Amino acid sequence: MVSKKEIFRKIRILITQSFNNPTEAFEFFDKNGDGFLGKSELIQLIKDAKINRFFSSTVADKMIEGLDEDQNEKFDWKEFKKALKKLIEETD
């Protein structure tokens, strides 16, 4: 299993290296433009972060489980920003 720290690190690298700012990343991964990152969109983000595909669905579930504050099973912008803040803190 990939460690949480390693997963956070890879997502952080993807977002900081491929995008100018978190807004750009959010808009890029919100493929259907509904203003939320749903599970399938998160899975894409996880795959783009080069995390083992075998774990992508599990990782998406864990992210939603831990960070989806209003429990609608998708990330809005506010939750996404908090998630980023957390992963930056935990990888420092």
Residue-wise burial string across 59-80, b where 16 or more C-beta atoms lie within 10 A, e elsewhere = bbeebbeeebeeeeebbbeebb
65 binds Ca ion (CB under 5 A): no
Kindly tell me which residue out of 68, 77, 81, 88 binds Ca ion, with binding defined by CB under 5 A: 68
Q: Which is nearer to Ca ion, 11 or 30 (CB)?
A: 30
The stretch among 4-12, 51-59, 61-69, 84-92 that binds Ca ion (CB under 5 A) is 61-69
6 binds Ca ion (CB under 5 A): no
Contact by Cβ (8 Å): 38, 87: no
Q: Which residues pair with 37 in a beta bridge?
A: 75
* Contact pattern for Ca ion over residues 16 through 55, marking x by CB under 5 A: --------------x-x-x-x-------------------
Which tokens go with 79? Answer: 């939750």
- 80: which residues sit within 8 A by CB, 6+ positions away? 22, 26, 37
Q: Which positions lie near Ca ion, rule CB under 5 A?
A: 30, 32, 34, 36, 68, 70, 72
